[in-house]
Amino acid sequence: MKKLVCLALILALVLAAPAAMAEKDNWLHLFLKADPETLDVQMTTDSYMLPLNCFDRLVETDTVDGVAQLVPGLADSWEVSEDGLTYTFHLHEGVTFQNGDPFTADDVVYTVNRMMAPATAAKNTDIYDKLVGAMDVLNGEAETVEGVKALDDLTVEFTLVEPYAPFLSGCLATPAGSIFNRESTEGVDDFGVNPNVCFGTGPFQVTEWTLGSRVTIKANPNYFKGAPAIDGITYDIVPDADTQRMMFERGDVDVFNFDYAESQLQWFLDNGYKDQIVAGRRAGTDFIMFNTAIEPLNDVNVRKALQMAVDRQAMLDALYGGEGSLLNAFIPAGVISHNDAAPEIPYDPEQAKAMLAEAGYSNGFDMEFAVASDAPTALNVCTIVASYFQQIGVNAQIKQIDAASYYDIRRDGELPAYYGLWSADFNDPDNFLYTFFSRKNTVGRSVNYNNDEIMDLLDAARVMVDNDERMAAYQKIDDAVVHQDAVTLPLYQRNHLFCLNPRVQGFKVAWNGWNDMSFYTISLAD
């Protein structure tokens, strides 16, 4: 009887043992908060985890010696004409898609035409709309994009309507620039949802997708840069933060992403995981934006007073344990043209009160922060900033709006002050400054900026061929929107934190600090 009891106890212990005690496999185990939107990168603007691991681009952005740089991808080399209009790419020989088809220049041409075809209804047409004839295709006036040509199987040429300085980084090196296989993609109706027809050239291939449960991607043994060191990756769909943590504790997950569960950080710090936490700088800016069309935010001195009213370091410490650095420019560190020497935005509530009095608001005023109802981070930040404003006599009420209405109101230019976070889609200041302060975008972002000199310079900088001239222009623009015109208050630049299972080797935070990243460099210790 005692033997039976002992055997039962042993069996119970084995069944209850955490996965970390089980024999280790050579698969990387991760979690996602929700299913990917689609496997078709042309049909999404924010679901890039799978494309970054399963597809390649002509040019890639990677961190080299601590600096984000353009590096060869499917193209070994390229030349740009002196006028900045023609880009010629020399493709890597011997690349194959995951189904064995050879990769050629025709696949690049197909990818561009598929993106611009009205029938595709793609969401990323802006990356190719600068090509000659691209808008004609999008508008149904032509069948093919004139500005992309296969000169031979391993040479492809792009021709732009006018120079666009960020074309390499901002168009071709973005996830949306992933190259598709004409043979396996053309005419396929379920390309975005069926792993069996989703073939790229990347280091991993999607082999299984069970909605609400798991996505599996398997190593591509024929990858042209060399097969991955791991057998593949599983992504379990786990929306609950506590469940995510328990899975990591058991060893069911190898990488804990704190962006998916910020509330768990303190638990990890308190429970012996501090040495397993790694940080990467996020090439992004947390900011407060002022709508300059709304009184009294239309007064630059009022905006400057509000800038000085906020203790940004205290906010960074309270919200993120100091993991990050203050920003005095809108373009963050890690993005070219960031100005390390930008003047400091001081925390000086007494001077802020004096400036309000000079502007005619010695008794303060009422204002609003707009917050989308599904944005808890924005609510926390705006609540804290409102408390600082209260200390200088400004009564900032927080108005929560359902998400759909929030973006509709913002598009119409009528959103009051709001919190935002912008992380680099690509390594160029155009991605930050043109997005918010150009004539094309300033109303749609509810900034309503009206400095004609700076807005002219924003348009001119996009077509400058001289890179030194461009960088100087963007630093002038940045200084104007932050210091001269005080249209925005940069808060801080956060670190992106992860906790790693000790067996994970070669982990690299993406150059821009995104959640979506390549895991090609990962290996797993025995």
Q: What is the mean pLDDT of residues 489-509?
A: 96
Q: Are residues 427 and 470 in the same domain?
A: yes
- The amino acid that residue 194 corresponds to is N
How many independent structural domains does the chain possess? Answer: 3
pLDDT in tens, 350-375: 999 999 999 999 999 999 999 999 89
pLDDT at 216 over 50: yes
Report the share of the chain in percent with pLDDT over 70: 95
Q: What residues contact 489, with CB distance under 8 A and at least 6 apart?
A: 287, 288, 290, 306, 307, 310, 345, 482
Q: Are residues 366 and 301 in the same domain?
A: yes
Q: Are residues 408 and 362 in the same domain?
A: yes
Domain that holds residue 362: 284-495
CB 28 within 8 A of CB 500: no
Q: Are residues 29 and 46 in the same domain?
A: no
Predicted local confidence at residue 147, as pLDDT = 98
Q: Does residue 6 fall inside a structural domain?
A: no
Burial of 52 (0-12, 13-18, 19+ CB in 10 A): buried
CA–CA distances in Å: residue 337 to residues 54, 66, 283, 293, 372: 31, 16, 12, 29, 31
Q: What is the mean pLDDT of residues 165-174?
A: 95
Rounded CA separation 99/202 (Å): 11
Q: Are residues 261 and 338 in the same domain?
A: no
The DSSP string of 84-114 is: S-EEEEEEPTT-B-TTSPBP-HHHHHHHHHH
Predicted local confidence at residue 23, as pLDDT = 52
Rounded CA separation 51/340 (Å): 33
Rounded CA separation 257/271 (Å): 17
Structure tokens at 476: 């002038």
Q: What is the mean pLDDT of residues 434-447?
A: 97
Q: What is the mean pLDDT of residues 476-495?
A: 98
Q: Does residue 504 fall inside a structural domain?
A: yes
Structure tokens at 474: 């963007």
Q: Are residues 344 and 484 in the same domain?
A: yes
Q: Is the peptide bond between 416 and the residue preceding it cis, with omega within 30 degrees of 0? A: no
The DSSP string of 269-332 is: HHTT-GGGEEEEE-SEEEEEE--TTSTTTTSHHHHHHHHHT--HHHHHHHHHTT-EEE-SSSSP
Rounded CA separation 226/222 (Å): 7
Q: Which residue has the higher pLDDT, 47 or 73?
A: 73
66 — pLDDT class (breaks 50, 70, 90): confident
65 — pLDDT class (breaks 50, 70, 90): confident
Which of 135, 167, 185 finishes a domain?
Answer: 185
Identify which of 475, 494, 487, 493 has the alpha carbon closest to the alpha carbon of residue 307.
Answer: 487
Rounded CA separation 333/387 (Å): 28
pLDDT in tens, 230-269: 999 999 999 999 999 999 999 999 999 999 988 899 999 9
Structure tokens at 487: 């249209």
Which of 123, 154, 185 finishes a domain?
Answer: 185
pLDDT in tens, 323-335: 999 999 999 999 9
Question: Pseudo-torsion of CA 26, 31, 32, 36, nearest 10°?
Answer: 30
Rounded CA separation 281/137 (Å): 40
CA Rg value for the chain: 25
Q: How many CA atoms lie within 13 A of 16 on its CB side?
A: 6
The DSSP string of 467-487 is: HHHHHHHHHHHHHIIIIIS--
Q: Which residues pair with 422 in a beta bridge?
A: 285
Query: Which domain CATH number covers 68?
Result: 3.90.76.10
Q: Are residues 199 and 216 in the same domain?
A: yes
Q: Are residues 221 and 97 in the same domain?
A: no
Query: Which domain CATH number covers 381?
Result: 3.10.105.10
Q: Are residues 387 and 480 in the same domain?
A: yes
Q: Does residue 149 fall inside a structural domain?
A: yes
Q: Does residue 2 fall inside a structural domain?
A: no
Average pLDDT over all residues of the chain: 93
206 — pLDDT class (breaks 50, 70, 90): very high
CB 220 within 8 A of CB 204: yes
Q: Does residue 108 fall inside a structural domain?
A: yes
Q: Beta-carbon neighbour count of residue 376 at 10 Å?
A: 12
Q: Does residue 15 fall inside a structural domain?
A: no
Report the share of the chain in percent with pLDDT over 90: 90
Q: Does residue 169 fall inside a structural domain?
A: yes
Q: Are residues 500 and 490 in the same domain?
A: no
Q: Does residue 267 fall inside a structural domain?
A: yes
* In the block, residue with structure tokens 């069911």: 252
Q: Are residues 355 and 400 in the same domain?
A: yes
CB 62 within 8 A of CB 69: yes
The DSSP string of 323-342 is: -EEE-SSSSPTTSTT--TTP
CA–CA distances in Å: residue 136 to residues 86, 113, 118, 140, 508: 19, 11, 10, 6, 41
Rounded CA separation 187/326 (Å): 50
Q: Are residues 404 and 490 in the same domain?
A: yes
pLDDT in tens, 5-46: 333 333 333 333 333 434 569 999 999 999 999 999 999 988
Q: What is the mean pLDDT of residues 60-69?
A: 85
Rounded CA separation 34/240 (Å): 10
Which of 185, 218, 243 finishes a domain?
Answer: 185
303 — pLDDT class (breaks 50, 70, 90): very high
119 — pLDDT class (breaks 50, 70, 90): very high
Identify which of 526, 507, 516 has the alpha carbon closest to the alpha carbon of residue 255.
Answer: 507
What is residue 504's three-state secondary structure? strand
Of the candidate ranges 192-196, 448-452, 500-504, the one whose mean pLDDT is the lowest = 192-196
CA–CA distances in Å: residue 79 to residues 86, 162, 163, 287, 307: 8, 16, 14, 38, 45
Query: Which domain CATH number covers 226?
Result: 3.40.190.10
